[in-house]
Amino acid sequence: MNKIKIAVIITKLELGGAQKVAISICEKLDKNKFDPFLICGCGGILDKETKEKIRVIFVKNLVREINPIKDLKALFYIYKILKKEKPAIVHTHSSKAGILGRIAAKLCDIKNIIHTIHGFSFNDTQSFINKKIFIFLEKFCARLSSILIPVSTENITKGLKNNIGKKEQYHYIRLGVDINNFKNFSQVPSLKKELKLNKDDILITTIGPFKPQKNLPDFIRLANNLSKLDNRFKFVIVGDGALRKSFEQMIKYFDISNNIFLIGWRRDIPNILNSSDFFVMTSLWEGLPISTIEALCCGLVPIVNDVDGQREIIKNGINGFLISPYDIESIQEKILLLISDNELKQKMSKNAKNCIDKTFSIDYMIKQHESLYLASMNPFFNKKKYFKNYRG
């Protein structure tokens, strides 16, 4: 049997869910059956270590920001790569790579074009015109796709509601994490010691890149409110990005520099989450947030905004809390509630840990991708029949 060559395309190698999926696919697919390689932009925190593990082709002009000149150059270069490599399958991730990668694959007359939806590029916070433009792009690129992989059922509902693709194109595969590494963390959590915090300090953590989607100013406002209420409250933001300077200015304005820490991108997320007392996420939209899954694995009770994929894994009042976007006061109330009611916190913590089963594991996710790739190579592949009967 000839190996199936797969080109996996993503915009940038950061520490996000989409990046973890793309890298895991290239790293963990059965190499007796598949020959995967990665195409991505330059300048990501994971560039160096990723190219040491898998074959990576970097595209200089593939950037997240909209830049017509760079976008055209990136499209042309991706087209050249695909023409040379001749992959049987092109699998794109993230919005920009999803657009350019699918167009390039279509120009190369590649039949199997798969796109994973890590949350759509449009949302209710955008202007009417911008939202319509992104919906149009999603609809156009869906027509170029043979298969769409949503990471949450919310993505299917949202996509079909906006006439993006057809029902038979959607095949749900949720993100996978290294469950054991989070659930059975064997080391002594050390973040509080690293930050020189007191043992009775209450550490509240969030994780994500510094971009508008994550709505981190609300997290900083929460830090201001709770720090003024009780100085034991300490806050950590794991991540980085172009908005860092504005966040630093905001922290300085509130005069809470001793209570909130911007610790950059980190690789010891199991240690950070197991060191934390609470996990909060103020995102305005999400696909399926991998950091929330990781927090659940650690027995933290996530307090997150009631958006998209969060609703799929958080059962309000059972294993976490769902809060309306921008409602900082309600986040604060839930934190204070759990502090005052330890029995409730322990019950919800147990529920959080127990709700993550093997179907959230990386290995399970990879097996689902392998089955889908193999089925899609069958010349008699029937998407309607396959998706109806597929059980993973």
- Sorted by where each starts, the structural domains of the chain and their CATH numbers stand as 4-176+361-389 (3.40.50.2000), 179-357 (3.40.50.2000)
Helices (H), 242-361: 244-254, 269-275, 290-297, 310-313, 328-340, 342-354
pLDDT at 390: 57
Asked whether the beta carbons of 26 and 4 are under 8 A apart, the reply is: no
272-327 pLDDT per residue, tens: 999 999 999 999 988 889 999 999 999 999 999 999 889 999 999 999 999 999 99
Averaged over 55-66, what is the pLDDT? 93
Q: CA-CA distance, 24 to 41, in Å (whole number)? A: 17
Which long-range CB contacts under 8 A does 254-260 form with residues at least 24 apart?
254/220, 254/223, 254/224, 256/220, 256/223, 256/224, 256/227, 259/223, 259/227, 259/231, 259/233, 259/234, 259/235, 260/220, 260/223, 260/227, 260/234, 260/235, 260/236
- Partnered with residue 57 across adjacent β-strands are 39
Does the pLDDT of residue 11 top 90, yes or no? yes
167-224 pLDDT per residue, tens: 999 999 999 999 999 998 888 889 999 999 998 999 999 999 998 989 999 999 999 9
Q: CA-CA distance, 380 to 378, in Å (whole number)? A: 5
CB-based burial label for 100 (10 Å; 0-12, 13-18, 19+): buried
Q: CA-CA distance, 238 to 110, in Å (whole number)? A: 39
Averaged over 215-240, what is the pLDDT? 97
Percent pLDDT > 70 in the chain is 97
Q: What order of strands is seen across the sheet that includes strand 302-305?
A: 260-264, 233-238, 202-207, 278-281, 302-305, 321-323
pLDDT at 124: 74
With bands split at pLDDT 50, 70 and 90, how would you rate the model's confidence at 384? low
Question: Position 389: which residue type?
Answer: N
Percent pLDDT > 90 in the chain is 82
99-118 pLDDT per residue, tens: 999 999 999 999 999 999 99
pLDDT at 383: 66
Q: CA-CA distance, 1 to 5, in Å (whole number)? A: 12
Averaged over 54-64, what is the pLDDT? 95
What integer best gives the mean pLDDT of the chain? 93
pTM metric for this prediction:
0.89
pLDDT at 111: 94
Instruction: Give the single-character DSSP code of 124.
Output: T
Asked whether the beta carbons of 309 and 154 are under 8 A apart, the reply is: yes
